[in-house]
Chains A and B, each alone.
Chain A
Amino acid sequence: MGTSVALEFEKPIAELEKQIDELRKVAGDRQVEVDDEIVPLTRKLDALRAEIYRNLSPIQRVQVARHVRRPFTADYLRLCFTDFIELHGDRAFREDAAIVGGWARLDDETVMVIGHQRGRDTRENLKRNFGMPHPEGYRKALRLMKLAEKFQVPILTLIDTTGAWAGIGAEERGQSEAIARNLFEMSRLEVPIIATVIGEGGSGGALALGVADRVLMLENSVYSVISVEGCASILWKDGKSPEMREKAAKALRITAPDLLELRVIDDIVPEPPGGAHANHEEAAKALHVALLHHLEELRRLKPDKLVRRRREKFLRMGIFNE
């Protein structure tokens, strides 16, 4: 994949990569002669990547989570699953391309995969509305989840959205109700549900796919009640300056280890060195392993027990004094 769209803190990585590329170009066919130089440089590159990614700050994680080259739902559909057939529409108003879903196969088992879909360029982003759903998206997702329940197929959701769309039509058609309905119904579906935050998990638009038996987060993904910009703008009247965004990112506790500690998520899926965008195949492989592992555990539970445990898990969430 490379890092042609390098983030600020990735610049040293990009420079080293460029150096190695140039050496290779100079060497041409005489590959052997420059190996003495390339091999240590490559090793240095790996170490640098690991080092930088071990110490990411929360706001840097936000940048990684939103990276335009980060694997999206469609990439995981291609890399983790086979036999995918996309199903469209909410059967009430229209199709919402900000959420994609359909039947797929995970190894030899049929599953229902539903996820937010962002775009890599302007054209696709217009089609996908930057991965920010309208009510139709949530309603389509619920339709597909009920379809999965009918045929007793597990549901796997992939969360990757800045949040719900702040627009007139979305309000007119009741996005509050659409999100609320998903929370309500997901708490009672009698099939295993695994939700994975693959990029940014932004507020209600994320949670609408997030009431699950297991909630996983990719190592560098974030999950928050509000965007760091929104938080900084409301609390400190400054959503633009890097300092305030950094302060908000830190204060909100939005990284995977934070959420594991707060018992909001159940597991963290490791990303390859340099983040998921550095190696889509490796990222997909890790997700594949995690999904199989959790699915195997959930499969042993009878439907009523599955639902009871899911409810108990969410009913326990929260920290207060008594």
Chain B
Amino acid sequence: MVWFRKDKKPRQPLRQKLEIPADAWEKCEQCGHTDIREKFVRNLSVCPSCGYHRRIRAIEYVGILLDEGSVEEVEPDLRSADPLGFPDYPARLKKALGSAGDEDAILTVSGTLGETPVNLGVMDFAFMGGSMGSVVGEKIARLGQRSLERKYALVIISASGGARMQEGVLSLMQMAKAAAMLAQLSERRIPYVSILTNPTTGGVSASYAMLGDAIIAEPGAVIGFAGPRVIKQTLGQDLPEGFQTSEFLLDHGMVDCVVPRGELKRTVGQLLRHMSGQPAATGWAAS
């Protein structure tokens, strides 16, 4: 029974009225939420609706973590060679250099984080899937050496599918190389914070990514040694829901905390203060 009738007025489509150009919109690939690009940008490429953390470039993380105007690039001149003469490697490198930039799969910088000096390495998935070859290993070793010399904390943000196959066993050895450097930092009590983003798998996960004095993961990142596809193939069965995500690793005791992108700077700053004996910026200890 209808108690009263409401006449439906034809609705004006919002988009038409505002005349927003089509490319000003962004759609979240996880939940389908559509919003103006500006909102995604302000939210550091995290979906305003579901919180999905989109993959961002290395340079963007530098902007998120380090104080404006404090950043200086370290070792910008290292370039991948083709040590094995591997089929198609030079062509793939050339393509990556053209599309992703000169930094190879890691950008290394010095700067300050809330006024604390740090050396920061940020892997870039856009460069050949963030794969770790000789250049990545060498850049980490040199960044670590800088930390040793200046007693600056080290922060590495990982994003990698693993070792770079095209450099064969040399890329495998980069795992040992990075670990040997981190052992030196550890003995000198220089803090190292490892941040894991989507994805952190293979050789990178089994080296510096899992060796942090503190290990932080961004929400929803895939983290593990063997990739989910390989495991599924080996076992011939479906994987449990949420397997190998940041939250799964937190539950299994493999990371210290899961921290949204917007809170990374504050959290890393807090950890570094604790691990380098500095007073807290706020709170009772500072007064």
Q: Is the CB of B177 within 8 A of A315?
A: yes
Q: Is the CB of A318 within 8 A of B206?
A: no
Number of A positions contacting B (CB below 8 A): 51
Residues of A within 8 A of B (CB): 164-168, 170-177, 179-181, 183-185, 187-188, 203-204, 207, 210-211, 223-226, 231, 234-235, 247, 251-254, 259, 262, 264, 310-311, 314-315, 317-322
Please indicate the chain B residues that have their CB under 8 angstroms from the CB of A223 in the complex.
169
Q: Is the CB of A318 within 8 A of B134?
A: yes
Please indicate the chain A residues that have their CB under 8 angstroms from the CB of B235 in the complex.
166-168
Please indicate the chain B residues that have their CB under 8 angstroms from the CB of A224 in the complex.
168-169, 172
A315 to B143, CA, bound (A): 12
Query: When A166-B231, A177-B254, A317-B177 are in contact, do A225 and B168 touch as well, CB less than 8 Å?
Result: yes
A176 to B209, CA, bound (A): 9
Number of B positions contacting A (CB below 8 A): 61
Please indicate the chain A residues that have their CB under 8 angstroms from the CB of B184 in the complex.
311
Write the nearest CB–CB distance from B114 to chain A, whole angstroms.
28
Q: Which of A177, A181, A224, A321 has the most CB of B within 10 A?
A: A177
Q: Is the CB of A175 within 8 A of B225?
A: yes
Write the nearest CB–CB distance from B45 to chain A, whole angstroms.
26
Q: Is the CB of A183 within 8 A of B78?
A: no
Q: Is the CB of B81 within 8 A of A183?
A: no
B183 interfacial contact with A, CB 8 Å: yes
Q: Is the CB of B165 within 8 A of A176?
A: no
Q: Is the CB of B225 within 8 A of A176?
A: yes
A171 to B80, CA, bound (A): 31
Write the nearest CB–CB distance from A256 to chain B, whole angstroms.
11
Query: When A251-B84, A262-B169 are in contact, do A164 and B211 touch as well, CB less than 8 Å?
Result: no
Please indicate the chain A residues that have their CB under 8 angstroms from the CB of B150 in the complex.
none
Write the nearest CB–CB distance from A92 to chain B, whole angstroms.
11
Q: Is the CB of B231 within 8 A of A168?
A: yes
The segment from B14-22, B237-245, B275-283 that touches chain A is B237-245
Q: Is the CB of B177 within 8 A of A318?
A: yes
Query: When A168-B231, A180-B206, A318-B137 are in contact, do A203 and B87 touch as well, CB less than 8 Å?
Result: no
A188 to B179, CA, bound (A): 10
Query: When A168-B243, A225-B169 are in contact, do A183 and B234 touch as well, CB less than 8 Å?
Result: no
Q: Is the CB of B169 within 8 A of A259?
A: yes
Partner of A211, one of B87, B138, B179, B254: B179
Q: Is the CB of A320 within 8 A of B78?
A: yes
Query: When A184-B183, A259-B169 are in contact, do A179 and B83 touch as well, CB less than 8 Å?
Result: no
Q: Is the CB of A320 within 8 A of B225?
A: no
- What are 16 A-B pairs at a CB distance below 8 A? A172-B252, A179-B175, A180-B211, A181-B210, A184-B186, A185-B183, A204-B203, A252-B165, A262-B168, A262-B169, A264-B170, A314-B176, A317-B137, A317-B174, A317-B177, A321-B79
A177 to B84, CA, bound (A): 29
B47 interfacial contact with A, CB 8 Å: no
